[in-house]
């Protein structure tokens, strides 16, 4: 038995926790690669790409000149910016606080500790030298929270809804990352830039999705663009691929609804439909028109989330 309001808090807690982890990893990856990037690329290649992934296009400066501290503050610490890391952490904790009575003490405390640590690090003490360790702290604590979610509560309704939120968010984040990097790479190709620039984007893409090491092992070389697309969209085993996450969403929904197959229009049915779309997706289409396929997937997932919200989370 679970209150719809609590289910809503859990779903969003899962989404914000996942967003926190993803954002921290993307910022970390891009900051590190900015350090030794050719200076002409710094603004256009790295910051702009990152700002687009994070949904902060209004920070993009047409002049291509960026002040590091301004960008760092906006990405990491600005509470007025709803997609900053600090905001995600705050929202995750607020939702956890609203559902605290049904979480294990360990889950709540691990989230609260992350919140307190992140708040402790004031933005005015931060510069390029300690931002990476700040982001690593967030990643380590996110891993602890994940372990507590996995191991300190039964894999029942509470866990299923939390995971539903997390996998939904991950699907959206990976899709957004892919869309943005696809644009960057296609733009490079259009401008007939060399292989070097493309590789730069590819590596940032794969690192941001924590996929570089595993994709290298899978393909036995540094993945090419079409391989990166295959790996992050269609791989059934890699936990950050869209296919993997859609499978998780589908089974979590079965637990929530207590039904194997939902009626047409139900969240379970919609999730199964997206899975079928992925299963029968022609890789030629994905390779030739990646942006088109990604947008189509994004629309389907957004519609699925609206159905989940109206079916289970409204009160």
Partner 1 sequence: MTPKITAEAESSIMHHYPLDQPWYDEVYRQEGKFRKHYHRILNHLGKISRADFIKLNELARLSFLNQGITFNVYTENPQGVERIFPFDMMPRLIQEAEWEHIQSGLIQRTKAINAFLRDIYHEKSIIREGIIPAKLVFSSTFFSKEMIGLMPPAEVYTHISGTDIIRHSDGHYYVLEDNVRCPSGVSYVLANREVMKRLYAQVFMNYNVKLIHDYPERLLAMMKSVSPQGIDDPTCVVLSPGMYNSAYFEHSYLAQRMGVQLVEGRDLYVDKNFVYMKTIRGPQKVDIIYRRIDDEYLDPLAFRSNSLLGVPGLMGAYRAGHVSLVNAPGTGVADDKAVYIYMPEIIRYYLQEEPILRNVPTYHASKAEDLAYILEHLQALVVKPVDESGGYGILFGNKLDSKELEDCRAMIQENPRKYIAQPIMNLSVHPTYVEETGAFEQRHIDLRTFTLMGGDGIHVLKGGLTRVALQKGNLVVNSSQGGGSKETWVLEEKGGAE
Stretch that binds partner 1, among 38-46, 101-109, 137-145, 233-241 (CB under 8 A): 101-109
Query: 79 or 140: whose CB is closer to partner 1?
Result: 79
Contact 92, 103 (CB under 8 A): no
Q: Which long-range contacts (CB under 8 A, 24 or more apart) does 236-239 make?
A: 238/211, 238/214
- Closest approach, Cβ 258 to partner 1, in A, equals 7
One residue of 38, 70, 113, 189 binding partner 1 per CB under 8 A: 113
What residues contact 50, with CB distance under 8 A and at least 6 apart?
A: 26, 27, 30, 75
One residue of 76, 256, 297, 301 binding partner 1 per CB under 8 A: 256
Per-residue x/- marks for partner 1, 21-60, CB under 8 A? ----------------------------------------
Burial of residue 57, with CB atoms counted within 10 A of its CB: 0-12 exposed, 13-18 middle, 19 or more buried: exposed
- Binding residues for partner 1, rule CB under 8 A, total 29
Contact status: 144 vs partner 1 (CB under 8 A) = no
Contact status: 122 vs partner 1 (CB under 8 A) = no
Stretch that binds partner 1, among 95-103, 170-178, 184-192, 287-295 (CB under 8 A): 95-103
Contact status: 94 vs partner 1 (CB under 8 A) = yes
Stretch that binds partner 1, among 47-55, 93-101, 219-227, 277-285 (CB under 8 A): 93-101
Residue 81 CB coordination number (10 Å): 19
3-state DSSP assignment of residue 82: coil
Contact 115, 4 (CB under 8 A): no
Q: How many CA atoms lie within 13 A of 33 on its CB side?
A: 25
Q: What angle do CA 273, 269, 234 make, to 5 degrees?
A: 30
- Helix 4-35 crosses helix 195-208 at what angle (to 10 degrees)? 150
Cα–Cα distance measured from residue 272 to residue 261, given in angstroms and rounded to the nearest whole number: 9
Of residues 217-246, those binding partner 1 (CB under 8 A): none
Contact status: 109 vs partner 1 (CB under 8 A) = yes
Contact status: 90 vs partner 1 (CB under 8 A) = yes
Q: Tokens 């350090």 map to which residue?
A: 35
The first and second tokens of residue 98, run together, are 């609203």
3-state DSSP assignment of residue 56: coil
One residue of 69, 116, 143, 151 binding partner 1 per CB under 8 A: 116
Stretch that binds partner 1, among 113-121, 196-204, 237-245, 282-290 (CB under 8 A): 113-121
Contact status: 216 vs partner 1 (CB under 8 A) = no
Residues in contact with partner 1 by CB under 8 A are 1-7, 79-80, 90, 94, 97-98, 100-102, 105, 108-109, 112-113, 116, 119, 157, 256, 258, 312-313, 315
């Amino acid at each position: 038995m679970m209150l719809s309001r609590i289910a809503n808090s859990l779903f969003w807690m899962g989404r914000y926790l996942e967003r926190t982890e993803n954002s921290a990893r993307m910022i970390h990856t891009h900051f590190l690669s900015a350090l030794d990037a050719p200076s002409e690329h710094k603004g256009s290649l790295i910051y702009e790409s990152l700002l687009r992934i994070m949904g902060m296009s209004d920070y993009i400066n047409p002049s291509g000149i960026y002040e590091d501290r301004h960008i760092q503050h906006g990405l990491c610490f600005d509470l007025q910016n709803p997609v900053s890391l600090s905001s995600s952490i705050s929202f995750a904790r607020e939702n956890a606080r609203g559902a605290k009575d049904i979480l294990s003490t360990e889950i709540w405390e691990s989230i609260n500790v992350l919140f307190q640590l992140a708040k402790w690090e004031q933005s005015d003490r931060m510069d390029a030298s300690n931002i990476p360790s700040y982001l690593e702290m967030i990643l380590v604590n996110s891993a602890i929270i994940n372990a507590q979610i996995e191991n300190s509560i039964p894999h029942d309704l509470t866990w299923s809804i939390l995971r539903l939120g997390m996998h939904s968010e991950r699907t959206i984040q990976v899709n957004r990352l892919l869309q943005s990097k696809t644009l960057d790479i296609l733009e490079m190709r259009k401008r007939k830039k060399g292989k070097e620039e493309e590789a730069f984007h590819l590596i940032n893409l794969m690192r941001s999705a924590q996929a570089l090491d595993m994709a290298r092992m899978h393909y036995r070389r540094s993945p090419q663009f079409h391989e990166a697309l295959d790996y992050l969209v269609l791989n059934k085993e890699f936990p950050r691929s869209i296919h993997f996450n859609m499978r998780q969403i589908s089974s979590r929904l079965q637990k929530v609804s207590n039904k194997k197959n939902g009626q047409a229009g139900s969240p379970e049915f919609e999730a199964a439909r997206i899975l079928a779309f992925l299963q029968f997706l022609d890789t030629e289409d994905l390779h030739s028109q990646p942006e088109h396929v990604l947008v189509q997937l994004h629309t389907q997932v957004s519609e699925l989330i609206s159905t989940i919200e109206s079916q289970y989370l409204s009160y």
